[in-house]
Every structure is written in structure tokens, then in C-alpha cells.
A and B are shown apart, each in its own frame.
Chain A
Amino acid sequence: MALVLAITRGAAAALAPEVEGCLNCHREQTLELTLPSGESRSLFVDSQRFAGSIHGDKLSCGDCHTDIEEFPHPERTFKNVREFALAYYESCKRCHFDNYTKSLDSVHYTFLSKGDQRAPLCVDCHGAHDVASPRLPKTRISTTCARCHEQVYQRYAESVHGKALLKGANGDVPVCTDCHRSHDIEDPRTASFRLRSPEICARCHTDETVMKKYGLSTGVIQSYLTDFHGMTASFYKQEQGTPEALTAVCTDCHGVHDILAVQDPRSSVMQANVAKVCQKCHPGATESFPAAWLSHYEPSPDKAPLVYYVKLFYQIFIPFVVLGLVLQILLHLWRVVVSR
């Protein structure tokens, strides 16, 4: 549980008198409780850490420990350490009702409601007596998730996003919560989440200012949407229910947690590797098959010139034909009217 906090809040706030009352017992470092499960739970409260927390000058003990109204308080009976934490799951909602209700929609809560006590509660991510602003520093978010999702974190740490964050403290790259959200975390294995993923990527990858910094194109989403996969995806996304048939979204070609720069020779979408990616859905795709994918380029005289010129031809040809025929009709009408 011990979070390494980088809290520099100057002088700790003065503690409320009620807190001092509780601290009479709970400042004792050796105070602990042995539970029926055999686990022991420390009952020591570090007043400095609480004072330095974001709640230090706002709350006192009874605000969260609502079940304790008198001194000495009745003995607490919990089977194990986890039940101890679960008992306080409802405490935060007195002030943070919106995030509490969001958390009820999360995949974490789904597990919890099925009786899986490993699923995280508010205090597991935010801490209890040492709650700090969750966004500072940004790296903390991913390391928080890593406590349970170690393997995913390792892959992320090696990705183009993770490297920039962990090695360069880059605030532009997405951390876990940017894609998965923080309280209403959806099961990412559903079709609806997959189909929404282009929107998630689009949040940064269509942002002119951010993309300019790294010399990346903001046209990737639009070029995807005008292509076979994107067109199909945008249709499926509006379907009621969960479509069985699926189409490639960003993550299918680029990877999810292990996205690499496209210049990286190990990248799955490197020209040399891309046929393998196609074969995931198009078994038997030949080496020339990936040429059907214009690599996010808008057709131009340089990139995909044939497509560009065929398009250009039609842009001239169609109006020409239509106008010619309309002219024939108008002249015909005019003659009929004049001859009457």
C-alpha cells in the first residue's frame, strides 16, 4: 500500500481537535489488530501523512469513519484485512458521488459484485489517509495500475508511449486512464470497446498542436475512415447490440499496449511485417495484398498516384457527362416550349 508520495505542501495543515482525540491511541506505531484470518492489521495513523494529504485540512476522522461516534468505540470485527477495506467502500461517495456511481459501471465493480474481493476499491488506487491529487505526477497513474496489471505495464513500458512517459516524463502520451478511463473502466474485450478505439486514438492523433511536436500526421483517422476497414467500423459502431463480424481497428494493426513507432523495425506495421498483420484476418493474403492499404496516405501524385488520377478522372468525367446530358434535356424542353 505504501505510496511514494511527492507531496510538497509546505507546512502541514493544523489538525482538527477531533483528529487529535483519535490520535491519542492511533499515533501508537505498534497498535495493531489480529484478525480471524490470522492476518494482522496495523492501526497506526501517521498524522503527518494525513495532514499532508489532500484531505488534511478538510476532513476529520469521523467524516470517513462514520460508524465511530464515541470514545471508546466498539470493537471492530472483520474476518480478514480485505473486509476491513471493503467496509469503507461507501465512505467516499458522501463527497465523490459522481465518481462513486461511475465506479459502479466499471469492470472492476463487476468482479467485485461477483464476489471477487481482489478488485480495487477507491482506497486501493487513491490511498486512504494519504490521498493525493491523482494526476500528479502523471507517471503515478500507470504505476498504480501496474500493481495489479504488471504484465500489461511491462508491455506498455516498452511501447512508444510508455517509453516517452517513463524515460522522458512526457505528459503528451496516454497513460492507462486516458484510454481506459479511471472510474467507469469498461471491459476492453468487448466489441463495442474495440469499435470505439479509433475515437480514443483520435483524441490525440487529430490534435494539431500535439502531433506537430512529433511530426505526426493528423490525417490518420480520416484516411482510416475512408478506407475499407474504417467505413465498416463506423457502420458497426452504430449498430444496436454487439455485431459478431468485426473489422480492423487501430489496435489490430498497431498493437495495443505494445505500440511501436512505425519507423521501428520491430513495428508490426513496418512495410516488411505488414503482410503478417493482414494475414490475421485475411488468411492466405499474398505479399502484394497489403498494397490495398494506402498506409494512411491521402492519394496524391506522389502517394498512390493511380488512385489519385482515377479519382481525378471521375471528378471531371462525372460532372461533364451529367452536365452534357442535362443540357440535352434543357435544349429539348426549350425547343418543345418554343414550338408550341
Chain B
Amino acid sequence: MASAVSSTAKYYVRIDLFHRLVHGFLMASFLGLAATGLPIKFNQAAWATNLAHALGGFGTVIFFHQTFAIILSLCFLLHLGRILHAAFVKGDPGVLWGPNSMVPQPKDLLDMFWHFAWFFGLGPKPRFDRFTYWEKFDYWAVFWGMAIIGTSGYVMWFSGFFGRFIPGWMFNIALLIHSEEALLAVWFIFTIHFFNSHIRPEKFPMDLVIFTGRVSEAELHEERPLEYERLVAQDGLTAIATEPPPLWLRNFGRLIGFTVITIGFILFGLTLWAL
């Protein structure tokens, strides 16, 4: 269970405001894309028609889909730009390699192996660093998804332009990739990501860190022992020490989080229904 907030506990910043905001835009646009894309993919289903009508008709659905696509693309480019800026302009290789990087490390493979070993009772639970192997999987699934679904989407959106450079059959592949990858993305986010981030027993009912950005000392020590020890060794804890998350912020997070999870589950159910 997520530990209760106490005023005496120490809190540390885990996710800075920029990342929280980008995640917010990513979440909103992904939800919008799913809600407008699924009625297109499953247009033979009755609910798809009704949903499309509720949103204002097919033309409107497409318009919203394209608008959300642009928002998500901007998130993607902003993120990529920040990574490249940090790595090559500020000269901090830590974003590309090491414990704070999202790039899979040899340790992640070992973590995964020992995590499974722990599932079967064959060893202790592995000690994780700043990011666990499934969080990185989550990240790359979204990263890959945005690249491939985005590219194929723009190819179809601007078919006249792309038709000058690519053979016609590429459009069929684009449609197929766009539609299948998007379904995979929807399933992944609305089940696997929701479970791993919020619904699993350690976090139930919701991990508010993506909204508050803060974790308690106990939580940091329990879940990311290696990171905690590293910070202690480097005297880095004071730099990221912060106030406990205020109640309004936690409630804001709960409101947004539960809304999104509910919509996500409904959309997930609809995809199963339409199969």
C-alpha cells in the first residue's frame, strides 16, 4: 500500500515539473487519440458509430484525432530535444547511459531475471535503481509507438505529398501498422501500464508520484534502494529534498488519475467487445 502522507516524513523530488507537464500532455493526447482512433478502427461496431456521433461526427473525429496527434508529436519532439540538448549541448552523458538513463543497461537484464526468480521463490527480490526494467520497457514501448504510429499516421494524413516519394503499397502497410500498433498501444497502456504503475498491490489504488513528483524517504528507500544509497553516498539527498505534497495536489492527482483510468478501462473494454 502507498504509505500515508505524514508531515514529519522527509520527501524528495523524483519527477521534475517539466516531466510531469509533458506526461500530462502525453496522457491527455493519448487518451484523445485512443477515443477518436478506436471508433475509426472498429467502425463496424455499433458503439463506434455512437461514439463518433457523440463526438460530433466523422469529420470532427478525424479533426480531433489529428489535433491530438500534433500535441503528442510536440511532446515527443520536446522530449527528444531535451534529451539531445542535455547530452550534447550541456554535455551530460548521464541521460544516455548509466543509472539515471532510460537506455537499458546490462543490470536491467539481470534485474528481470532475478525478478522472475523471485516470482518463483528462487531468490530475494532484486534491488532496483532509479528505473526498473519494466518502467524502461514502458518508456520504450511508448517511444517506439509514437515514432511508428506517428510516422504512419502522417503518411496517411498527407498521402498526396508522400505519394510522390513512396510507392502506393506503402499506404496499405502504413494503415496496417498504424492500426495494429495503436491497438497494441491502447491495450498496453490501459492494462499493463495501469497495473504496473497503479494497481499492483504495492501501489494500489494509485501512485500519485506522476502528479506530485514527490516520494517519501521510506518509499524511495524501499523501492529504489540502489538509487537511495547512491544519493546518500554522493550527498545528493539534500539537493532534492522538498515539502510533503499538499492535499490539493494529491486530490488533483487522484481526480485526473481516476478519470483517465476509468476512461481507459472503458475504451479497453470496447476494443475487446469489438473484436
Contact = CB atoms under 8 A, between A and B. Distances in A.
B116 interface: yes
Given A286-B164, A288-B167, A289-B163, A335 B43 contact: no
Contacts of A234: 43-44
Interface string A311-322: 100100110011
A307 B163 contact: no
Interface string A196-212: 00000000000000000
Interface string B160-188: 10011001111111011100110110011
Interface stretch (A112-120, A146-154, A291-299): A291-299
Contacts of B49: 238
B23 interface: no
Which DSSP category, helix, strand, loop or mixed, fits chain B's interface? Answer: helix
Closest 3 CB pairs of A and B: A291-B168, A292-B168, A235-B58
Interface in B110-141: 116, 118-121, 134
17 contacts: A234-B43, A236-B58, A283-B160, A284-B163, A284-B164, A288-B163, A304-B169, A310-B173, A314-B181, A314-B184, A317-B184, A318-B180, A318-B187, A325-B188, A329-B195, A331-B120, A334-B119
Given A228-B175, A292-B171, A240 B57 contact: yes
A282 B57 contact: no
A222 B134 CA distance: 41
Contacts of B57: 239-240, 243
Contacts of A307: 169, 172-173, 176
A225 B43 CA distance: 10
B119 A335 contact: yes
A332 interface: yes
B172 A294 contact: yes
A243 B58 contact: yes
Contact of A231 (B43, B169, B195): B43
A239 to B, nearest CB: 5
Nearest to B138: A325
Contacts of A333: 200-201
B52 interface: yes
Interface residues of B, number: 43
A54 B172 CA distance: 56
Given A235-B58, A310-B176, A292 B200 contact: no
A325 B176 contact: no
B246 interface: no
B46 to A, nearest CB: 10
A285 interface: yes
A306 B170 CA distance: 9
Contacts of B168: 288-293
Nearest to A321: B184
B106 interface: no
Contacts of A314: 176, 180-181, 184
Given A234-B43, A284-B160, A335-B121, A322 B169 contact: no
B62 to A, nearest CB: 9
Contact of A332 (B58, B156, B175, B200): B200
A314 B58 CA distance: 27
Given A232-B58, A289-B168, A238 B53 contact: yes
A336 B202 contact: yes
A11 interface: no
Interface in A222-248: 225, 228, 231-232, 234-236, 238-240, 243, 245
B137 to A, nearest CB: 8
A237 B161 CA distance: 28
Interface string B230-271: 000000000000000000000000000000000000000000
A167 B67 CA distance: 56
B33 interface: no
A338 interface: yes
Contacts of A5: none
